[in-house]
Amino acid sequence: MKKLSLAVIIATMLSFPFAACAADKVVTKSKPDLSLKLELENAIGKGLTWLAAKQQPGGYWAQAEYPALSALALTAFQGDPSKFYKNKYEKNIKNGYDYLVKSAKPDGGIYGKDLANYNTSISMMALLMANNPSYEPLLKKGRKFIIGLQDDFGEKGMGDDPLDGGIGYGGTYKHSDLANTTFALEALYYTRFLKSDVANDPDAKDLNWQAAVQFISRTQNLPASNDQPWASDDPANKGGFVYFPADSKAGEQKLESGKTALRSYGSMSYAGLLSFIYAQVDKNDPRVKAVIDWLSKNYTLDENPGMGQDGLYYYLHTMAKGLSAAGVDTLTLKDGKKVNWRQDLARKLLDLQREDGSWVNKNGRWWEKDPHLVTAYATITLEILHRGL
């Protein structure tokens, strides 16, 4: 495989918002809307200004023991479309990266207290966005660390346990879940250009991508490709995703047939779409088509479908990444109406921004009462939208 330079990878990420499948080199864009783009630049600037003011003396944001929170803020600064705020807060950015580098462990992970995969994967994306060749050794070690977290509980290499092939938080919270698997696959996908550098390392190995795809499939309500007994093709759930095999944070649903289904929900369904893309599953694959169909039928910006206000900003953030990566320009809803989801989502986030430039969820599930986390999510989301408008 021809090695790609770090600069080429970054250019691809910024030109094509979280690039589409390998077979798709073009991500569709909406009809240019200069007025809305300028509104987004203003909102992004306010968000970055708020984040800059909240940075702690040690270079971190929110909690020093969770580097992912700082990594999300740094990713937001790196994505500034105007470059004005990125230049204005150059010192903040440097201090943030100095903190992130110091958070790296000898084992290759980038974490503090716990949640090793979550923190490492998100930190790797921030390091990659810096376009700094000096970070390549950290990224290589990070790759090795994440790959080492892939689960294989049953007979080795057989995929006989439903959790095989996925990745969990790491550490105490070991077993696989779709959210953590998505974060890990994202980091591995975008650093795949480093794979050739470690090919001769006797300790190096690549992720078992086939096992990862099997795990992803086992979290989807699609009996044709999911061998788990709970998988359902009833109209309300078919094609959507759950948190991990046999567990949905949206709960269960008793069907007329008497079967108990695990309810599909919004944020995990976008995570499932992204995971298939990072695993380079073809866009015409029935599993990809099925999840896009579920997402179209359940499209809303007012809640995380199936979860209400729980994880709303993670849902909106993952929506922007997922639909951009899949090359989806418009969605056809269940009533046949076509919507420009980029414009809808942009206006929604503009309305939700607070006067001081931050965003926050009144619902505290998954840390979303922390404005540092939510402001980073929202700012990155607006940057993705800006690149597609």
pLDDT value at position 200? Answer: 62
pLDDT value at position 18? Answer: 37
**The residue type at 124:** M
Closest CA to 140 of 186, 183, 193, 98: 193
Angle, to 10 degrees, between the axis of helix 209-217 and the axis of helix 178-190? 150
Tell me how far apart the alpha carbons of residues 105 and 360 are, in angstroms, rounded to a whole number: 31
pLDDT value at position 364? Answer: 92
- List pLDDT tens digits, range 265-302: 999 999 999 999 999 999 999 999 999 999 999 999 99
Domains of the chain, residue spans: 6-388
Provide the whole-model pTM.
0.92
pLDDT value at position 204? Answer: 63
pLDDT value at position 199? Answer: 55
Torsion of CA 29, 30, 33, 38, to 10 degrees: -50
**Contact criterion met (CB below 8 Å) for 81 and 386:** yes
Residue with tokens 């700082």: 70
Residue-wise burial string across 2-15, b where 16 or more C-beta atoms lie within 10 A, e elsewhere? eeeebeebbeebbe
Q: Is 285 helix (H, G, I), strand (E, B) or coil?
A: coil
pLDDT value at position 196? Answer: 65
What DSSP string runs through 130-153?
TT-GGGHHHHHHHHHHHHTT----
What DSSP string runs through 72-94?
HHHHHHHT-TTSHHHHHTHHHHH
Arch. (CATH architecture) of 6-388: Alpha/alpha barrel (1.50)
Average pLDDT, the chain: 90
Closest CA to 295 of 314, 322, 276, 329: 322
φ, ψ of residue 218 to 5 degrees: the values are: -80, 0
Tell me how far apart the alpha carbons of residues 206 and 195 are, in angstroms, rounded to a whole number: 8
Low-confidence ranges of the chain (pLDDT < 70): 1-31, 171-174, 196-204
Torsion of CA 105, 107, 65, 191, to 10 degrees: 90
